[in-house]
Amino acid sequence: MKASIVFAALLPAVAAASGQTATSQIRLAYHGDDGMMVSWNTAGHVERPTVRWGASADKLHNTASSNVSVTYPTSTTYNNHVLISGLAPGHTYFYLPSPLPHAEDAKPYNFTTSRKAGDKRPFSVAVVVDLGTMGRLGLTTSAGTGVASNNMLKPGEKNTIDSLASSLSGFDFLWHPGDIAYADYWLKEEIQGFLPNTTIADGHRVYEAILNDFYDEMTAVTATRPYMVGPGNHEANCDNGGTTDSAHNMTYSASICSPGQTNFTGFKNHFRMPSDVSGGTGNFWYSFNSGMAHFVQLDTETDLGHGFVGPDEAGGSEGEGAAPVNATANAQAAWLAADLAAVDRRATPWIVVAGHRPWYLSHKNVTGSVCWSCKDVFEPLLVKYGVDLVLSGHAHLYERQAPLADGEVDPKGLDNPSAPWYITNGAAGHYDGLDALQSPRQAYRRFGLDTADAVYGWSRLTFHNCTHLTHDFVASKNNTVLDSATLYKARSAVEHRAASPDSVLTDCGDKNGYGKDDMRRIPVR
């Protein structure tokens, strides 16, 4: 039967008084190569959120401020957003938001602005998908009934947030294309008896507590590294797409969700992605450049256009009931086509695209797990414009695939393919553990890890120069690389669309072994 429980909307101040912890949740986001969005949370509304900043920790002589201090029903915090603009690309600055709710946060942090497009120096990026809170409200050394015992953390084992925090010097920014915090897992955790001190009637508070916990844990990374995010299905509402309590023969639907815990509300409030400077829409789709790469975040959850109902939209496959985020017909696909057409491949030869759901995967190849309508909408554009790499998650496992187009493996493999390379890595970790790859594996599968391997991990992309890009799967428990593959692209074969005359990328060489004059090939696996 369907259970319908409607909670009264709580004003933030009332919820805060219930004893939940308010955290600073400090986070950054690139905004062009001369700006940085600084965001943080406070227990109450802030009339004039302000960031003091400067070139050194003891000289925070500049200030930036805004009037953006926003919240929503059931939230226990306000989200403050301040843009610092007029910065130099690739420079490090120190900053301190004000006010902060905790004295221990009141020390200057630092960030580095985005590399200027065309900067040829090597750099790395960290990518996680499907990452939930760790500890008492999420993934830990115990779980309720129904979670595979080998998928729980071992006592003392480093989790993915620990791993990222211990690897800060190894990446410029963290990219998280969806499923952030898993606050909507509160319901499953309650049903499975994992949360001993709360009940389903407390759901709205547990949901917010998980969000606060996660963003506080992530501050170890996000206060000093830009945190670029995209939408996943677990941001959409509070019921995890419908959750069944078998013991009581009940299935909960989105009707259990309080106002504020549906329609991507927390996600919309918490972040400010650079869609305003890339023609995108909110935190849902946008692009940005850094160094030799153009990065594109897609929305696989809503707004697919072309007659398709997004999986999280009302009437979609997930039962999430979310609304489209852009009223213009086919807005996302039209934006993607224009965005890719405008890329200057001499400045940013690499194009990396991420969306939450895959369309190629050795997994349950049914709507929901694999997004066929996403393939229909996006893939022709990614092939047409020579996208190099497509990243996704959603399935809680790791699979590196071959470059392929319309299901056909590129015969060149990683040695100068014309088709995009696909990697799914949804193994960052959350309460429920990992998923299984299906057998037999798809023909395009090249390497995989799943629930049987019980390894959590994240992806590291290293842009060596304009011809070589390495993907590593980093095991969170000990920061070791369990899979590594390098894509080679002969850029002379690339059609440089819309190249501007002042492009700065004039050769593909560097002095560290991947150079134009030393074009040794990385072994292709």
Query: Residues 380-419: x/- map of binding to Fe ion (CB under 5 A)?
Result: --------------x-------------------------
Q: Is the bond leading into 226 cis (omega within 30 degrees of zero)?
A: no
Shorter beta-carbon distance to Fe ion: residue 32 or 177: 177
Shorter beta-carbon distance to Fe ion: residue 394 or 491: 394
Q: How far apart are CA 428 and CA 179, in angstroms?
A: 10
Candidates 68-76, 202-210, 227-235, 303-311: pick the segment binding Fe ion (CB under 5 A): 227-235
Shorter beta-carbon distance to Fe ion: residue 367 or 479: 367
Buried b / exposed e across 214-233, counting CB within 10 Å, b at 16+? Answer: bbbbbbbbbbbbbbbbbbbb
Least Å distance between CB 409 and Fe ion? 26
- Binding-site member from 118, 177, 203, 232 for Fe ion (CB under 5 A): 232
Candidates 226-234, 265-273, 416-424, 494-502: pick the segment binding Fe ion (CB under 5 A): 226-234
Candidates 139-147, 233-241, 243-251, 396-404: pick the segment binding Fe ion (CB under 5 A): 233-241
Query: Residues 284-323: x/- map of binding to Fe ion (CB under 5 A)?
Result: ----------------------------------------
Shorter beta-carbon distance to Fe ion: residue 179 or 399: 179
Candidates 42-50, 202-210, 225-233, 476-484: pick the segment binding Fe ion (CB under 5 A): 225-233
Least Å distance between CB 185 and Fe ion? 11
- Binding-site member from 20, 23, 233, 243 for Fe ion (CB under 5 A): 233
Backbone angles phi, psi at 205, to 5 degrees: -75, -40
Helix, strand, or coil (residue 457): strand
Asked if residue 390 lies in contact with residue 353, where contact means CB atoms within 8 angstroms, the answer is: yes
Q: How far apart are CA 342 and CA 345, in angstroms?
A: 9
By CB atoms closer than 10 A (0-12, 13-18, 19+), residue 154 is: exposed
Least Å distance between CB 129 and Fe ion? 8
Which residues neighbour 481 within 8 Å (Cβ) at sequence distance 6 or greater? 460, 472, 473, 474, 475
Q: Which residue is nearest to Fe ion (CB)?
A: 394
Candidates 37-45, 58-66, 231-239, 286-294: pick the segment binding Fe ion (CB under 5 A): 231-239
Backbone angles phi, psi at 264, to 5 degrees: 60, 25
Shorter beta-carbon distance to Fe ion: residue 160 or 233: 233
Shorter beta-carbon distance to Fe ion: residue 119 or 313: 313
Least Å distance between CB 519 and Fe ion? 40
Shorter beta-carbon distance to Fe ion: residue 303 or 510: 303
Asked if residue 20 lies in contact with residue 12, where contact means CB atoms within 8 angstroms, the answer is: no
Q: Which amino acid is at 457?
A: G
| Binding-residue total with Fe ion (CB under 5 A) | 4
Query: Residues 120-159: x/- map of binding to Fe ion (CB under 5 A)?
Result: ----------------------------------------
CA 340 to the chain's CA centroid: 20
Which of 278, 179, 289, 275 is CA-nearest to residue 236?
179
Least Å distance between CB 254 and Fe ion? 16
Q: Which residue has the tokens 């009581």?
A: 248
Q: How far apart are CA 241 and CA 195, in angstroms?
A: 20
The encoded tokens of residue 289 equal 């450049």
SS (H, E, C) 125-147: EEECCCEECECCCCECCCCCCCC
Helix, strand, or coil (residue 210): helix
Least Å distance between CB 396 and Fe ion? 8
Shorter beta-carbon distance to Fe ion: residue 179 or 217: 179
CA 268 to the chain's CA centroid: 14
Which residues neighbour 250 within 8 Å (Cβ) at sequence distance 6 or greater? 1, 2, 3, 244
Shorter beta-carbon distance to Fe ion: residue 179 or 190: 179
Q: How far apart are CA 81 and CA 273, in angstroms?
A: 11
**Subset of residues 169 to 188 that bind Fe ion, contact rule: CB under 5 A:** 179
Shorter beta-carbon distance to Fe ion: residue 228 or 236: 236
Least Å distance between CB 184 and Fe ion? 10
Shorter beta-carbon distance to Fe ion: residue 132 or 203: 132
Q: Is residue 373 part of the contact set for Fe ion (CB under 5 A)?
A: no
Least Å distance between CB 176 and Fe ion? 12
Which of 377, 252, 257, 241 is CA-nearest to residue 317?
241
**Subset of residues 487 to 516 that bind Fe ion, contact rule: CB under 5 A:** none
Shorter beta-carbon distance to Fe ion: residue 212 or 233: 233
Per CB under 5 A, residues contacting Fe ion are 179, 232-233, 394
